[in-house]
Amino acid sequence: MAHLPSASTPPDDGVTIVNTGCCHDCGGRCVLKAHVKEGRIIRFESDTGPEPQIRACARGRAYRQRLYSPERLKYPLRRVGARGQGRFERIGWDEALDTVADQLKRVKTTYGNAAILFLPGAGNQGILHGPTAPGMMLQAFGGFTRYWGIPSYEGALFASMATYGTIRTGHSRDDLLNSKLIVMWGWNPANTVWDPETSLAVAKARENGARIVAVDPRHTDSVATFAHQWIPIRPGTDAAMLIAMAHVIIAEGLLDRAFIEKYTVGFDAYRDYVLGKSDGVAKTPGWAEPITKVPADVITGLARAYATQKPAALIAGWGPARTAMGEQYSRAANVLCAMTGNIGIPGGYAAGFMRAYSSRETGHLMKKDPGKQIDKSKGIPSANPVENGALPRPDTLYKLSGGTNATSARIHQGRIWDAILRGRAGGYPTDLKMAYIVASNCLNQYPNANRGAEALRSLEFVVVHEQFMTPTARFADIVLPVNTFMERSDIAPPWLGSPYYIYLNQAVAPLHDTKSDLEICRALAPRIDVPADFFNMNDEQILRLFASRRKDIADFDTMQRDGVLKIKLPEPIVAFREQVADPDHHPFPTLSGKIEIACDHLAEMENPRIPAVPQYLGHPEHFDTPLAQKYPLQLLTAHSKVRTHSTLERVPWLQAMEDHGAWIHPVDARARQIENGDAIDIFNDRGRVRTTARVTERIMPGVVNVCQGAWYTPDESGVDVGACANTLTRDEPSPGGAFPMNSALVQVARVSRQPQEDQ
Ligand SMILES: Nc1nc2c(c(=O)[nH]1)N[C@H]1C(S)=C(S)[C@@H](COP(=O)(O)OP(=O)(O)OC[C@H]3O[C@@H](n4cnc5c(=O)[nH]c(N)nc54)[C@H](O)[C@@H]3O)O[C@H]1N2
Ligand SMILES: Nc1nc2c(c(=O)[nH]1)N[C@H]1C(S)=C(S)[C@@H](COP(=O)(O)OP(=O)(O)OC[C@H]3O[C@@H](n4cnc5c(=O)[nH]c(N)nc54)[C@H](O)[C@@H]3O)O[C@H]1N2
Ligand code: SF4
Ligand SMILES: [Mo]
């Protein structure tokens, strides 16, 4: 591959090192140096350059087994059996593309563009490949219906926008060295990475003397590695604990009154709720103890520590916000940061969405832009003709720019299956007839997989661009085989917000008869009469065009040669540094210009489920509802360290690191005669999964965890023997749009005992 621009001089053994990277939606975005011999990658190494190094995790280092997997899709396929049965025949590219073009045109002519459902997924995070080109193509074709809501963070995002008017609320990781106390609230970067330098930064902060407390129902690898104290908490009750901490801070006068006065609005309303003046219930630690299962003195202790050991970083992960009332937890965390004045100062943290550097978006996210405010009566302009002019949905923060698009033309991602099945009659904006799915294992990754299978079966046509025969691809009529990021070039910004770019240089020629998503669009666009201007540029021309628009990419060629561009910052990023140092010239980008402890924009919704101040609120599948009699255990669906969602599911090296199985506490296991290693069923009214019991005290009683991402594999009787978490999850989003994947009630039963091994 000597012609590739990144190739350094081959060492004597005929190996060429290609500077490239890894870019699924994995929490990272890392340097990989591919050692290529005779056109094949024989090993990877990671960043060996100057600090800070952007080092790959086990998943990236195992990538050869994904790239060269015998299970890769090799050529276009057409369904021959019933939809979902997984029987296909090989066809040529022309036939496959003609079929897709004919179906697109048929659906457009018969039903209109709104009947085309585009489901882009997170599979590839480069700017060029993955769903970008298909989206542009379908837009030029007259538009499509899509979803709103991102399962990662919708609750955290909603709360961040309501409180701060922005998602840029994070600090660069080097600033953790300035913290005296770090609270890892539902945050497990030892597994989920959250940008590659994070674990090292937390370790250094601990060495530097910071005290580290973790609040998580699971004793995660992060707890084991970093934390001085583990506080297990009942899932979905975090808002109650945070509100009780606020009670301690108010009652004991530990508030930062000057900060509250100067930078916030609405504290009095929150204080009245916390003290019980508005509803007669004082939210004391004693009130929170039976709700959260956290002893009152532990809540009091953490509240005092957080308010007095300043600066303190409360890092509020997204897992607890992936719950049925998720935004209340995030709002309560944000408000606690504000009450203690831990915002805008080195070593503090604002919680919120937590993006720091923004190579992903432009600077507008930090500016209040009233000129861009949406006129509710006129509707929202959009380049997608299907959406153009649609009115905002109720219960959206439509007056703020930079958050979720408020258009009512979109359907919440968690409700897509219901929308397909019920359409306009069910109150959705359209009747959906075909799905165009790119880089998404939606059947596996959206909540309520059994309903998903029913929905996909009901469509007239399904096309999937994929690399593997995923549970979703099995439901396609046409599967188009796509290459991986080792087989093409791209630019990738970091996952969350660290200051660098990865340039992925193509390391090997595309394997089998695969194409990139962009190449597919180049071939498909003329077949559906879409003008091909964009698609006529070659890959590198587009990457150069992208780079030329970024102020922080000064030299494309050097970035391309090195495979990485690290941006040097003059000082650590501290969110809201200017707002706090010089409030007269730097208002917060909210409507009031201040941190909104009580938010008028929320109050205007007049929805008691979205109160103006954060509250602890229940929901129909909470631990204290009648349903809990039937299904007494709470299900968590954390992200696995050996997969990226459902990607990398079939990589033997990674499977060897950790088996799929369910964590269950010995008390719950004993009550069900379950021993470690037993086959168990986990079930509720939505479905039943079969997996292996991992009996462990690393999870609190009353809670079971099945990591998300295992492949949905229903057997003849409907039992999901792949144990996909979403066979069990709830698909009713929170009022603010949070995904309730950590709010399902379940029961567990033993299926059979493994034969005892000889002693
Ligand atoms: N290895 C790996 N890393 C990843 C990913 C992956 O698939 N694999 N995915 C990436 C992506 S796209 C995302 S969005 C992020 C997700 O990042 P997160 O959302 O932070 O990850 P989770 O593992 O879902 O949740 C974090 C922790 O929250 C805990 N938790 C769950 N519910 C509750 C609750 O109600 N209260 C409390 N206090 N804790 C709770 C879980 O036990 C878990 O340890 O991870 C990224 N990183
Ligand atoms: N129960 C539960 N469910 C969850 C979560 C949870 O915490 N709990 N987390 C949610 C979160 S945070 C997220 S982000 C979503 C992720 O959900 P998805 O976006 O569906 O992510 P993956 O499962 O990784 O599937 C991505 C697919 O893209 C394919 N792919 C990779 N690269 C390319 C490419 O270049 N082109 C094409 N065409 N395909 C490619 C991969 O093979 C893979 O099948 O899952 C969500 N689902
Ligand atoms: S999977 Fe993510 S965190 Fe791991 S090496 Fe690849 S980019 Fe980095
Ligand atoms: Mo995500």
Domain of 432: which CATH number?
3.40.50.740
Pairing of strands 181-185, 312-316: parallel
Contacts of residue 656, defined as CB under 8 A and 6 or more positions apart, other chains included, come to: none
Mutate to test the pocket of ligand 1, among 234, 639, 726 (most ligand atoms within 8 A of CB): 639
Alpha carbon nearest to ligand 1 atom 14, residue? 152
Q: What is the pLDDT of residue 533?
A: 73
Integer Cα distance of 215 and 202 in angstroms: 16
328 within 8 A of 747, measured Cβ to Cβ: no
Position 145, amino acid: T
Q: Looking at the domain assignment, is residue 120 inside a domain?
A: yes
Closest ligand 3 atom to residue 644 Cα is 1
Instruction: Give the domain extent around 324.
Output: 154-356+578-603
Burial 259-276 (b: 16+ CB within 10 A, else e): bbeebbbbbebbbebbbe
Q: What is the pLDDT of residue 535?
A: 79
Q: Looking at the domain assignment, is residue 251 inside a domain?
A: yes
Residues of the chain below pLDDT 70: 1-12, 359-374, 534, 754-759
Alpha carbon nearest to ligand 2 atom 37, residue? 439
CA–centroid distance, residue 638 to ligand 1 (Å): 5
Closest ligand 1 atom to residue 709 Cα is 7
Q: Looking at the domain assignment, is residue 745 inside a domain?
A: yes
Do 272 and 333 fall into the same domain? yes
CA–centroid distance, residue 575 to ligand 1 (Å): 23
Do 398 and 450 fall into the same domain? yes
Helices 132-140 and 517-524 pack at an angle, to 10 degrees, of 20
Closest ligand 1 atom to residue 742 Cα is 32
| Distance linking the first and last C-alpha atoms of the chain | 54
Pairing of strands 662-664, 703-706: antiparallel
Q: Looking at the domain assignment, is residue 520 inside a domain?
A: yes
C-alpha pair distances (Å), 461 with each of 86, 90, 267, 476, 503: 15, 18, 53, 8, 36
Residue with tokens 């000889």: 758
Closest ligand 3 atom to residue 23 Cα is 7
Integer Cα distance of 148 and 251 in angstroms: 41
Do 246 and 136 fall into the same domain? no
pLDDT tens for residues 337-376? 999 999 999 999 999 999 998 765 544 445 555 445 667 7
Do 131 and 168 fall into the same domain? no
For residue 633, how many other CB atoms are within 10 A of its CB?
22
Domain count, the chain: 3
In which element (H, E) is residue 518 found? helix 517-524
> Which ligand has the shortest distance to the CA of 710?
2
* 8-state DSSP, 407: B
Mutate to test the pocket of ligand 3, among 32, 193, 640 (most ligand atoms within 8 A of CB): 193
Integer Cα distance of 561 and 555 in angstroms: 10
Contacts of residue 369, defined as CB under 8 A and 6 or more positions apart, other chains included, come to: 401
> Which ligand has the shortest distance to the CA of 196?
3
Nearest in space to 168 (alpha carbons), one of 735, 588, 737: 588
CA–centroid distance, residue 201 to ligand 2 (Å): 27
Position 72, amino acid: R
Q: Looking at the domain assignment, is residue 20 inside a domain?
A: no
Do 733 and 719 fall into the same domain? yes
148 within 8 A of 405, measured Cβ to Cβ: yes
* Region for 12 from its dihedrals, namely left if φ exceeds 0, alpha if ψ lies in -120 to 50, beta otherwise: alpha
Burial 529-552 (b: 16+ CB within 10 A, else e): ebeeebbeeebeebbbeebeebee
* 8-state DSSP, 665: -
Integer Cα distance of 218 and 212 in angstroms: 16
Integer Cα distance of 329 and 221 in angstroms: 23
Do 434 and 483 fall into the same domain? yes
Is residue 441 in contact with ligand 2, taking CB distance under 6 Å?
A: yes
**386-393, long-range: CB < 8 A, 24+ apart:** 386/113, 386/114, 386/142, 386/143, 386/144, 386/145, 387/143, 388/143, 390/429, 393/148
CA–centroid distance, residue 490 to ligand 4 (Å): 21
* 8-state DSSP, 509: P
Is residue 199 in contact with ligand 3, taking CB distance under 6 Å?
A: no
Tokens standing for 191? 């597994």
| Predicted structure pTM score | 0.96
Alpha carbon nearest to ligand 1 atom 2, residue? 192
Mutate to test the pocket of ligand 3, among 23, 59, 649 (most ligand atoms within 8 A of CB): 59
Mutate to test the pocket of ligand 1, among 150, 191, 192 (most ligand atoms within 8 A of CB): 192
Residue 585 is part of a domain; what is its CATH number?
A: 3.40.228.10
Tokens standing for 224? 């084991």
Tokens standing for 275? 């003290």
Is residue 472 in contact with ligand 2, taking CB distance under 6 Å?
A: no
Q: What is the pLDDT of residue 373?
A: 61
CA–centroid distance, residue 62 to ligand 3 (Å): 10
Q: Looking at the domain assignment, is residue 61 inside a domain?
A: no
Do 145 and 175 fall into the same domain? no
Closest ligand 2 atom to residue 446 Cα is 47
Q: Looking at the domain assignment, is residue 672 inside a domain?
A: yes
User: Side by side, which strands form the sheet with 490-492?
Assistant: 490-492, 500-504, 564-566
Mutate to test the pocket of ligand 2, among 118, 467, 468 (most ligand atoms within 8 A of CB): 467
Residues facing residue 79 across a β-bridge:
88
Is residue 504 in contact with ligand 3, taking CB distance under 6 Å?
A: no
Alpha carbon nearest to ligand 3 atom 4, residue? 57
Residue with tokens 């029961």: 747
pLDDT tens for residues 72-101? 999 999 999 999 999 999 999 999 999 999
Q: Is 643 helix (H, G, I), strand (E, B) or coil?
A: coil
Is residue 25 in contact with ligand 2, taking CB distance under 6 Å?
A: yes
- Concatenating the DSSP letter of every residue in 693-756 gives EEE-TTB-TTEEEE-BTPPP-B-TTS-BTT--GGGT------TT----TT-EEEEEEEEEPPPP
Nearest in space to 316 (alpha carbons), one of 301, 326, 303, 304: 326
Do 142 and 158 fall into the same domain? no
Name residues contacting ligand 1 (CB within 6 A).
Answer: 25-27, 122, 152, 185-188, 191-193, 215-218, 220, 233, 235-236, 238, 317-320, 323, 636, 638-641, 643-645, 742
Count of H helices and E strands in the chain?
26, 26
Tokens standing for 752? 């059979």
For residue 656, how many other CB atoms are within 10 A of its CB?
10
Alpha carbon nearest to ligand 1 atom 42, residue? 218
Nearest 10 degrees: CA dihedral of 65, 70, 71, 73?
110
- Find the length of the chain: 759
Burial 386-415 (b: 16+ CB within 10 A, else e): bbeebbbbebbbbbbbbbbbbbbbbbbbbb
Do 174 and 250 fall into the same domain? yes
74 within 8 A of 88, measured Cβ to Cβ: no
Do 335 and 401 fall into the same domain? no
Position 457, amino acid: R
Residue 647 is part of a domain; what is its CATH number?
A: 2.40.40.20
Q: What is the pLDDT of residue 2?
A: 39
417 within 8 A of 390, measured Cβ to Cβ: no
CA–centroid distance, residue 644 to ligand 1 (Å): 11
Q: Looking at the domain assignment, is residue 39 inside a domain?
A: no
Asked whether the bond before 311 is cis by omega within 30 degrees of 0, the reply is yes
Alpha carbon nearest to ligand 1 atom 29, residue? 186
CA quadruple 192, 196, 199, 202: dihedral sign: negative
645 within 8 A of 723, measured Cβ to Cβ: no
> Which ligand has the shortest distance to the CA of 31?
3
Do 413 and 431 fall into the same domain? yes
Pairing of strands 181-185, 211-215: parallel
Is residue 477 in contact with ligand 2, taking CB distance under 6 Å?
A: no
Is residue 727 in contact with ligand 2, taking CB distance under 6 Å?
A: no
Is residue 30 in contact with ligand 3, taking CB distance under 6 Å?
A: yes
Mutate to test the pocket of ligand 2, among 647, 649, 746 (most ligand atoms within 8 A of CB): 647
Do 175 and 298 fall into the same domain? yes
Integer Cα distance of 730 and 488 in angstroms: 38
